[in-house]
Amino acid sequence: MIKVALVDDNHDLREGLQIVMKEHKTEFECVGSYADAESAIKKIPEVKPDVVLMDINLPGLNGIECLKQVKSKMPELDVIMLTVFADDQTVFDSLCAGACGYITKNTSPEKIMDAIREVRDGGAPMSGRIARMVVTSFNAPTSPSAQLTDREREVLDQLCKGKSYKMVADALNITHDTVRHHIKNIYKKLEVHSVSEAILKTMKKKLF
- The confidence score (pLDDT) of residue 136 equals 56
Q: What is the mean pLDDT of residues 35-54?
A: 96
- The confidence score (pLDDT) of residue 129 equals 63
- Contact of 78 with 5, CB cutoff 8 Å: no
- The confidence score (pLDDT) of residue 205 equals 55
Q: Could you give the CA distance from residue 84 to residue 156 in angstroms, rounded to a whole number?
A: 27
pLDDT in tens, 130-178: 666 555 555 555 455 557 888 988 888 887 776 778 888 999 999 988 9
pTM exceeding the 0.85 threshold for the entire prediction: no
- Contact of 59 with 67, CB cutoff 8 Å: no
pLDDT in tens, 186-198: 877 877 766 666 7
- The confidence score (pLDDT) of residue 131 equals 62
Please, what are the domains in the chain?
2-120 (3.40.50.2300), 129-207 (1.10.10.10)
Cβ burial 128-157 (10 Å sphere, 16+ → b, else e): eebbebbbebbeeeebbbeebeeebbbbbb
**Which residues partner with 4 through β-bridges?**
30, 51
pLDDT in tens, 5-27: 999 999 999 999 999 999 998 99
- Compute CA distances 207 → 43, 116, 197, whole Å: 33, 26, 15
